[in-house]
Chain A
Amino acid sequence: DTAVSQTPKYLVTQMGNDKSIKCEQNLGHDTMYWYKQDSKKFLKIMFSYNNKELIINETVPNRFSPKSPDKAHLNLHINSLELGDSAVYFCASSHSGDFTDTQYFGPGTRLTVL
């Protein structure tokens, strides 16, 4: 059984388009995260939700908007895509919002903006 799943796995799109990435976890966790991994493998947190409430919002352009319809899902919508948005986006979840909790990562979504 997949613990944290993301769709799609690959996403290729043109500049200026709007796209969404979906994430679902079946671990019963309260907290979910979005990370961005750039071409140099640097991994940085973007957002964190706890029980559908935003608790971490790093310096991310307003074009990125997370949405959590329920605590098992955290989707990432990106408006007006730019070349610099090309990266691998990872979703993760943990039992609570405490960083001491183990975070479980999804397989990633590789976004390529042309």
Chain B
Amino acid sequence: AQSVTQPDIHITVSEGASLELRCNYSYGATPYLFWYVQSPGQGLQLLLKYFSGDTLVQGIKGFEAEFKRSQSSFNLRKPSVHWSDAAEYFCAVGGSGGSNYKLTFGKGTLLTVNP
């Protein structure tokens, strides 16, 4: 069965600092990986996704993620965080669940940005 682990429940960074959010996945075949962001009181929005090809994926809002098969990781990065990036971040893996396709989400990492 597919699963996602986000080891950090809560991360605090200063505005302008770099950011890395960790994500580890478990999946028997080639994974399809996603990062979503949830701003307070809002639904989830896709930041980026990886299916194949270049292991460094660029997304919206200046985010990028790197797929490392050897480490079963798909960490999200941003070189300089803005106050508006404060939100909950979810990593997800896509794959077949029986005969159906579904996304399995991690438990999220809450990002706080200090001025």
| A residues lining the B interface (CB < 8 Å) | 4, 40-45, 48, 55-56, 58, 90, 92, 97-100, 102-103, 105-108
Assess the A48–B107 pair: CB atoms within 8 A.
no
Residues in chain B near residue A43, CB distance under 8 A: 44, 90, 105, 108
Closest residue on chain A to residue B96 by CB atoms: A99
Interface residue B102 (Cβ < 8 Å from any Cβ of A): yes
Inter-chain CA distance A106–B94, complex, in Å, is 20
Which of B32, B43, B90, B107 contacts A99 (CB under 8 A)?
Answer: B32
Residues in chain B near residue A107, CB distance under 8 A: 41-43
Assess the A102–B49 pair: CB atoms within 8 A.
yes
| B residues lining the A interface (CB < 8 Å) | 32, 36, 41-46, 49, 51, 88, 90, 94-95, 97, 100-103, 105, 107-108, 110
Q: How many A-B residue pairs have CB under 8 A?
A: 56
Residues in chain B near residue A92, CB distance under 8 A: 43-44
Assess the A44–B46 pair: CB atoms within 8 A.
no
Inter-chain CA distance A40–B45, complex, in Å, is 19
Assess the A99–B42 pair: CB atoms within 8 A.
no
Assess the B107–A103 pair: CB atoms within 8 A.
no
Closest Cβ of chain B to A54, distance in Å, is 10
Closest Cβ of chain A to B89, distance in Å, is 11
Assess the A103–B46 pair: CB atoms within 8 A.
yes
Inter-chain CA distance A66–B91, complex, in Å, is 26
Inter-chain CA distance A103–B92, complex, in Å, is 12
